[in-house]
Structure 1
Amino acid sequence: NSRINARLPYIFLLSRIAHYLKIIQRENIGSTKDRRLLELELNTWVRSLVTEMTDPGDELQASHPLRDAKVVVEDIEDNPGFFRVKLYAIPHFQVEGMDVSLSLVSRMPKAKA
């Protein structure tokens, strides 16, 4: 039980970021954005949560909870009409005394031609 509780901050952080990425993706459904433009938009947003300072203060860490983050948007070859969206994130905070790298994969419909 304590091991699960120790991982909750990571789960909450990734869930919150995933929720916002899904909202941005939903706003783009039906648009004519290609993979590169969507990837640029998602990366611009997720980079707003990143500070590369090695030891940020509590206030900065609260507004920029990630040490690094990247979004990759790929075409799904066996499922035309959808993109695969991958999120890679490294949070500032440590639990259990180890560095953690988080990732998440989702699918998004492409615009209809």
Structure 2
Amino acid sequence: LSSQLQYIFAVSRFAHYLKAMMRDKVGSFMSRKEAEMFLNKWISQYVLENDVAPASQKAKYPLREARVDVAEIPGKPGCYRAVAFLRPHFQLDELSVSLRLVADLPPPAK
């Protein structure tokens, strides 16, 4: 477990930012699709698809792949759930590590 701690920290940081950004968007009347596009555009700035890039580039762009799916929460109009799929560049024992994060996004202000 301790060897996976770096991945837990990375996912926690992305989760924190994701929720903070959506909290700041409360009251903007953003649709599900707009929220998904906004979050995917944001997370794409941390993605580098080049596996042979130098370590300095991989440190600057820590994700190999990233995607955020946003869905409405049934029975809660205006509330969304974001599912982020993250794959960091760094690998553990030559096995690729993929992480999935689920977060409920705050509803719009009333």
User: How high is the TM-score relative to the length of structure 1?
Assistant: 0.90
Contact 2:47 2:64 (8 Å CA) reproduced: yes
5+ residue gaps, structure 2, are none
SS of aligned partner of 2:105: strand
Q: What percentage of residue pairs aligned between the two structures are identical?
A: 38
Residue matched to 1:6: 3
Say whether residues 1:74 and 2:81 are aligned partners. Answer: no
Residue matched to 1:110: 107
Aligned-residue RMSD, C-alpha: 1.3
Structure 1 stretches (4+) deviating beyond 4 angstroms? Answer: none
Contact 1:66 1:90 (8 Å CA) reproduced: yes
Residue matched to 1:85: 82
Alignment of 1:14-93 (within 5 A): 14-93=11-90
Contact 1:6 1:96 (8 Å CA) reproduced: no
The separation in 1 between residues aligned to 2:15 and 2:67, in whole angstroms, is: 12
Between 1:101-110 and 1:62-71, the stretch displaced more is 101-110
The separation in 1 between residues aligned to 2:76 and 2:31, in whole angstroms, is: 16
Following TM superposition, by how much is the alpha carbon of 1:18 offset from its aligned partner in structure 2, in angstroms? Answer: 0.9
Of residues 87, 90, 94, the one that matches 2:91 is 94
The separation in 2 between residues aligned to 1:55 and 1:25, in whole angstroms, is: 34
AA aligned opposite 2:21 = I
Following TM superposition, by how much is the alpha carbon of 1:80 offset from its aligned partner in structure 2, in angstroms? Answer: 2.6
The separation in 1 between residues aligned to 2:20 and 2:106, in whole angstroms, is: 13
The Cα offsets for residues 51-91 of structure 1, whole Å up to 9 and x where unpaired, read as 11012211111110000000011001133331011100111
Contact 1:68 1:90 (8 Å CA) reproduced: yes
Distance change in 2, residues 1:112/1:27 (3 Å)? closer
